[in-house]
Amino acid sequence: MNNSEILFVYDAHMCNPNGDPDEENRPRMDNPTQTNLVSDVRLKRYIRDYLQENGYELYVQKGEAGKTVNASERIQAALGQKKAAKLGDEDLQNLLNKLIDVRLFGATMPIKLEGKGQSIAFTGPVQFNWGYSLNRVYLLDTKSITSHFSSEAGKEQGTIGKDYRVKYSLIAFHGIISGYNAKNTGLKKEDVALLDQALVKAIPLHATRSKVGQEPRLYIRVEYNSDSFVLGDLRKWVKFSPQGTNKDDEVFSVQNVKLDITALVEKMQEHKAKIQQVKFWKDGALSLVGALDALPNGSPLTF
C-alpha cells in the first residue's frame, strides 16, 4: 500500500471538543497562545464509534450494558471459539481480517504464540497528530451543572460539576497512513476508503451533550505513489484569517472563517510526480482560498 497524508479540519461551536480530565474537564488549551487542543485519541474514538455503529467488529469497543468482555474473550469471540486455545499464524490472520480497528490503529493483544512472549503488539499504520485550533479560542464562563449520579452509592443528592465550552474553535488535524506499516496489520484499500468516510461523517453523528455543535469542514487525503515518501504535516501550508471581522474574539462561526490553502496546492503541484491521487471533501459553508480542483490527480469524495 502507498503512504497517505491527511488534513482534516472541523469546528466546534459552543461546546467542548476534548475535555482535560484533570482540569474539571476544561477544553484542552495551550493557554499562552489561546490554542485549543484535541488529542489523537479523541479523534480515533469518533472513528471507532462510527465503525461500531455501522456494524463493524472492533477489538476496542463498547460492550453491552453491564457486561464486560476481556481481551481474551474478545479475541475468542472474534475467532468464533468458545474456549481459550493456543493460536497459530492462521488465527492471527483471521483476527486481523475481522477487526478493522486493529488494521487501522494497531493494538496490543494477549495472545500466546510459540516463542513470542505473552502478548503481540501491532503498530498501527494510521497515526494522527494532536489537533490544534487555527484561531485563537475563548472559553465561555462556566455555569455549574448538576447530575443525577451521586458520588457514592447511597447518597441522595447528585454531584455538581462544571461545564466549560469554547466559543468557537477551528481545529486542524494531520494524519499519516504508513504503507510500510500497513503490511503488518493487513490494512486494505477498503479500510482507507472507510476511514475517509468515517472522518467526514462521524463527528455530527456523535451528538452527545458536550459535542453538539461540531461540524466537519475540510478533508484532504493525499495518496503518494510509494510507501516511502511523505511531505510531513500538511498544516504548514494552511492559513486561517478571520472574515467579516478583524477581532479574534468575534470569530463566532464558520461564517467568520477564511481558509487559504494556496500554499498547500502549490506544494502538491511541486511534488505532483510523487502523488497518485488526492481525495477531497469540503463543506459548502467554508470559504476557501485556493482551488481543490487544482490539487494534482484530485477528485471529490463520494459516498
Footprint of other proteins (CB under 8 A): 3, 20-23, 28, 30-33, 35, 37, 39-41, 59-61, 63, 68-74, 107-110, 118-119, 123-124, 127-130, 132, 134, 174-176, 178, 180-181, 226, 228-233, 235-236
- 186 vs 204, which CB is nearer to other proteins? 186
- 136 vs 282, which CB is nearer to other proteins? 136
Contact partners, residue 220, CB within 8 Å, separation at least 6 = 6, 7, 8, 234, 264, 278, 279, 280, 292, 295
Q: How far is the CB of 234 from other proteins (least distance, A)?
A: 10
For helices 89-98 and 71-79, angle between their N-to-C axes, nearest 10 degrees:
90
Quote the CA–CA distance of 152 and 131 in Å, as a whole number: 35
Q: How far is the CB of 124 from other proteins (least distance, A)?
A: 8
- 38 vs 292, which CB is nearer to other proteins? 38
As separate numbers, helices (DSSP H) first and strands (DSSP E) second, the chain gives 7, 18
- 176 vs 275, which CB is nearer to other proteins? 176
- 35 vs 142, which CB is nearer to other proteins? 35
Q: How far is the CB of 181 from other proteins (least distance, A)?
A: 7
Q: Are 227 and 186 in contact (CB under 8 A)?
A: no
Q: How far is the CB of 129 from other proteins (least distance, A)?
A: 5
Region class of 90: left (phi > 0), else alpha (psi between -120 and 50), else beta: alpha
Q: How far is the CB of 67 from other proteins (least distance, A)?
A: 10
